[in-house]
């Protein structure tokens, strides 16, 4: 009986180690932290928005930003390819220290951004004919 209990405890500990290792290996592809240096405008007017940034690789140019504009939409911006995709509220979990995406932030169909008007300005065509502008 004691052997079965020890075996069960060892098996559970091994399972926890495998799960923890899997989370740590995949962490960069799914974790975004708060980014307070950017501003967001809709049709040229400043709006309250929440911005998160993540780097799925070791390269600084591979940065992705999640821009959440209440009442307008949620967008994942790929800085390297200068593209974006709309994000469902079901695709991420908002945690105290950041955001965990349920699928890799690199996954999905990305569309090209609108042409730049100013340096370091990313323009996203939002629904309803609006333009969401993220400036970092």
pLDDT tens digits, one per residue of 57-98: 665 667 888 899 988 889 998 888 889 999 988 988 888 888
Residue-wise pLDDT tens digits, 8-22: 777 777 777 665 555
- Determine contact, residues 76/82, Cβ cutoff 8 Å: no
The SS3 call for residue 50 is strand
For the entire predicted model, the pTM comes to 0.75
Spatial separation of the C-alpha atoms in residues 133 and 47, rounded to whole Å: 10
Task: Classify 28 as helix, strand or coil.
Answer: helix
């Amino acid at each position: 009986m004691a052997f079965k209990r020890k075996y069960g405890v060892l098996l559970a500990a091994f399972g926890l180690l495998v799960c923890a290792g899997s989370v740590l290996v995949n962490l960069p592809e799914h974790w975004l932290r708060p980014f307070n240096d950017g501003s967001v405008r809709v049709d040229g007017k400043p709006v309250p928005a929440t911005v998160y940034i993540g780097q799925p690789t070791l390269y600084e140019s591979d940065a992705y930003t999640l821009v959440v504009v209440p009442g307008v939409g949620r967008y994942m911006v790929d800085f390297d390819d200068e593209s974006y995709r709309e994000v469902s509220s079901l695709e991420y979990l908002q945690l105290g220290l950041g955001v965990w995406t349920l699928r890799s932030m690199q996954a999905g169909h990305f569309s090209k951004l609108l042409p730049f008007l100013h340096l370091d300005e990313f323009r996203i065509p939002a629904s309803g004919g609006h333009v969401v502008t993220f400036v970092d």
